Structure 1
């Protein structure tokens, strides 16, 4: 399929706290865009502060999609995300607007853009239940170590607390003798859309400082109260609360660590996640990067990004 016949999509990626939200609004205003969240946790209702979900005021009347579509006790898969986003892309185009996917969950975004098939790997429910029982007995880290021994590449890309994906990777190997990473490598790397793929980056020390400040702000905004309401609902084993920002405070509410230690763990895990995000994007996707380190340069950088998008997708900017 030629690029002329493909739907156009702007994709904005980057680590947590780098400034994607503000940049995405400016791009949406310039290109008649509608924003699709590419974040695997912002789909959950009542999980606003910990996921740094955009507020109604910040949206500036730009339509946003795939926010608040699931209850925290519900599970959510890459395959479901792929299906929902592809449908939204077509819907947005039918209105004469441009879809802008914004987020930091690399595999989710990649699954939409490329011809990824999720139905071809078999499953074994009995083995899955057995692994779920072992997690309860031995813990997340133990299971993740088992994956690292079986499929080190998948183990490095999946967080130990993403138990469902760890189990899925082990299940694929158990059923087929092939690693999840091998299945992923065999996927066709054919782009389904005509895309402008932009990445935001930043000096690491500055980014880490911003992450630390963001955690402090989240705590001031009421993150502990948000987490406690989920804790009080008995959602300890739900997929949603394995996310950074929730699991650390669950440990505090369980009496395992002090609040001070939980906040430090949250900051450290967020910094590590940002590092993993950058590594993933650099290794897996063909990104045009823009450095957001110097705040005074932001207007100039936004102009450069807009010019790149306009040239790449043959679009006219409103500004």
Structure 2
């Protein structure tokens, strides 16, 4: 018997967290955070990490398991997600994955094999030298020449992912794009994939409002603390919500400009998320609006109840 897993996907700020809580309460579930940045301790406001009150007693996993200076790869994400699915199922509960980037979710649910991607320390050292001597754009341009599709998914300043994609090409002879396309199209799980969507203009308003609330709740102070702890160059600080505020903390940019960049990057990320999910996974989509969200959630509960009976 395949283990049943509910997965709630969609762009940022669309209502996935609230839906996951309601589903967990209704169907005896536990939640696995699909957000690879919520694994980091002390990164609460910028990642929109759920609070204890918001959990409403529902058990959550994959939150606060790493320090900000620790790496966390797609393979790590896959390991933890699969581990928690097994543990939750063994307790007679229903695993529910909420949120996350398309690649990470797909890698975990379709059991991507990362074992072929051996590291070549000498090659990695050469890439790091290029980064130091010629800058991030020189390295990023190399990836664009080799694998433009993968380069389009990675920010030029995300050095770790740029180097990793170049390593895959060096060690396997395949681009990261080709490697991902080669992976299994079948999942070892019985997946119930739910997608929340919202009209673009309304979603962008929600995103902008969310950023304003984060700032009111102390986002600048959170980033300042992490910056002063020496985490500026860590993988965790490359996340949206953190990297945009570093120039302000360094006195290189006005706060209003950093905030506007944060909102723009958040909107663009939402658009990329939506495109990925639409193109890569077979998801049942539900259009939501703030004023009708309760009614829409009731429809989702009814649909899930029918699907779960068949499993």
- Cα distance, 1:203–1:140 mapped onto 2, change above 3 Å: farther
My pick for the range that moved more, 71-80 or 255-264, is: 255-264
User: CA shift at 1:315, angstroms?
Assistant: 7.2
> In the alignment, is the contact (CA less than 8 A) between 1:10 and 1:195 conserved in 2?
yes
Query: CA deviation digits over 1:196-250, x for unaligned, max 9?
Result: 1001110111111111111111111100100001110111110000001111111
Find the counterpart in structure 2 of residue 121 from structure 1.
117
Question: What are the superposed Cα offsets for residues 138-158 of structure 1, whole Å, 9 maximum, x if unpaired?
Answer: 443442232121101111222
Matches of residues 1-319 of structure 1 in structure 2 within 5 Å? 5-292=1-288, 294-314=289-309
**Structure 1, unaligned runs of 5 or more:** none
CA shift for structure 1 position 136: 3.3
Q: Residues 24-73 of structure 1: CA distance to partner in whole angstroms, max 9, x if unpaired?
A: 11111110110000001000000000000001110000000000000000
TM-score normalised per structure 2: 0.96
Unpaired stretches in structure 2, ≥5 consecutive residues: none
Q: Is residue 194–residue 313 contact of structure 1 (8 Å, CA) maintained in 2?
A: no
Contact 2:78 2:111 in 1 (8 A): no
SS at match of 1:314: helix
The answer on whether the counterparts of 1:15 and 1:104 sit within 8 Å (CA) in structure 2 is no
- Asked if 1 retains the 8 angstrom alpha-carbon contact of 2:82 and 2:108, the reply is yes
For residues 193 and 276 of structure 2, what CA distance do their matches in structure 1 show? 14
User: Over the residues paired in the alignment, what is the CA RMSD in angstroms?
Assistant: 1.5
Q: Secondary structure at the match of 1:270?
A: helix
Local SS of the residue matching 2:178: helix
Q: Shift in Å at residue 305 of structure 1?
A: 1.1
Distance 1:133 1:275 in 2: 34
Distance in 1 between residues matched to 2:195 and 2:38, nearest whole Å: 20
Shift of 1:306: 1.4
Q: Distance in 2 between matches of 1:261 and 1:136?
A: 28
Cα distance between partner residues in 1 of 2:252 and 2:128: 22
Deviation of 1:133 (Å): 2.9
* Contact kept? 1:309, 1:315, Cα under 8 Å: no
Kept in 2: contact 1:198–1:289 (CA 8 A): yes
User: After the TM superposition, which segments of 4 or more aligned residues of structure 1 sit over 4 Å from their partners?
Assistant: none
Q: Secondary structure at the match of 1:196?
A: strand
- TM-score, normalization: structure 1? 0.94
| Alpha-carbon shift at residue 255 of structure 1 (Å) | 2.2
